[in-house]
Amino acid sequence: MSDPTPEPTIEPTPQPENRAAEIITDEGKFTKSYIDSLPDDLGSHSIFQKYDNPVDLIKGAINAQGLAGKKAEEFWTSEDQSIVSKRKEIMGVPKDAKSYELNYGEVPEGMQIDESRIEKFKEVAFELGIPAAAAQKLIEWDAQGATEAWTAMQDRDATIKREAEEQLHKEWKGNQYQINIDRITGTLEAAGLEDWIDNPAIANNPTMLKQLLEKVVPLFDDDVIVEARMKENAATLDDSLSAVEARMNAYTGSTNDSTYRNMIKERSELLIKSTKYS
């Protein structure tokens, strides 16, 4: 007869350690053993001297968070000049308006950049506390808009000019077109009305040009026109050359930027033209 099968031994289920009992005393304070078990930089921190129980520690954290938010708000809204200066420094705002280094970028040939407008923008940017990087982005945006507007205007003027020339070519056949245009141009120069020559409202207006040819040109002798034209051109070139050289001497920007290069090109063209009247 075989022995009866022994009953299996049932091991007791491990019970989770009472970690709270190790961390918190019966009085609800942190135990020394818990504090000693923390890394040195935490266990030795003075915060446990100020907050010796979880409740006070949580309250202290909430209070500290509120104070931090209040201090941050005071920092970003303060009118104290020392704080304002520090705030601008953090944001990347230059120390003064002149310290903005703004590059308008490449612009189409013939398009003039209003330097005084850029200087005024620097003053506004500094007054508003705009960082240098953000100010440069705004200048680039403005340059793009100005370039698009200038290009559209040039295209429109070119179209009007072409249509005016086509109309006048039909009436002034062959070489007569250029002869009449030269007579009108010479008469305006002799009369001291050089600005009219490049005024699209006049230069691109067939009716106006025909009226000038019929009513004004006959009032001036051809010799007078030629002589006045040469004198006026020479004087105008000298004035223009002096003006562009003065702008170059007064320019404080980089000699490699488009503004200065355009001035160099303008001076070279004036020098070439002036040789005709020397």
Give the tens place of pLDDT for each residue, 21-34.
488 887 777 787 87
User: Within a domain: residue 207?
Assistant: no
123 and 163 in a single domain? The answer is yes
Is there a single domain that holds both residue 167 and residue 104?
yes
| pLDDT tens digits for range 139-164 | 999 999 999 999 999 899 889 989 98
In the listed set 171, 197, 212, which residue is the last one of a domain according to the structure?
171
Please report the pLDDT score of residue 1 as a whole number: 47
DSSP state for residue 31 in the 8-state scheme? P
146: in domain: yes
User: For residues 203 and 157, what is the distance between their CA atoms, to the nearest angstrom?
Assistant: 10
- What residues are paired with 24 via a beta bridge? 30
Q: Contact at 8 Å (CB) between 237 and 277? A: yes
Question: pLDDT band at 20, cuts 50/70/90?
Answer: very low
Number of domains, the chain: 2
Domain's final residue, options 115, 149, 171: 171
**Domain membership flag for residue 253:** no
**35 or 125: which leads in pLDDT:** 125
Per the domain annotation, does 160 fall within a domain?
yes
Q: How many whole angstroms separate alpha carbon 16 and alpha carbon 151?
A: 80
Give pLDDT tens digits for 161-172.
Answer: 899 889 999 999
Domain that holds residue 64: 27-73
Is 227 among the domain residues? no
The answer, yes or no, to whether residue 230 has pLDDT greater than 60, is: no
pLDDT at 148 (0 to 100): 93
Secondary structure in 3-state letters for 83-139: HHHHHHHHHCCCCCHHHCCCCCCCCCCCCCCCHHHHHHHHHHHHHHCCCHHHHHHHH
Identify the pLDDT of residue 221.
66
Q: Which residue has the higher pLDDT, 226 or 77?
A: 77
- pLDDT by residue (tens digit) across 34-73? 777 878 767 567 776 676 777 777 766 776 665 556 566 6
Residues 154 and 101 in one domain: yes
More confident residue, 228 or 129: 129
Q: Are residues 109 and 58 in the same domain?
A: no
Token pair belonging to 228: 């006045």
Share the mean pLDDT of the chain: 78
- Asked whether 267 and 244 are in contact (CB, 8 A), the reply is yes
Last residue of a domain, one of 123, 156, 171: 171
In the numeric block, which tokens belong to residue 135?
């100010």
Query: Highest mean pLDDT range out of 58-67, 86-95, 245-254?
Result: 245-254
Residue 115 shares a structural domain with residue 146: yes
Does the model's pTM come out above 0.85? no
Residue 243 within any structural domain of the chain: no
DSSP 3-state of 63: helix
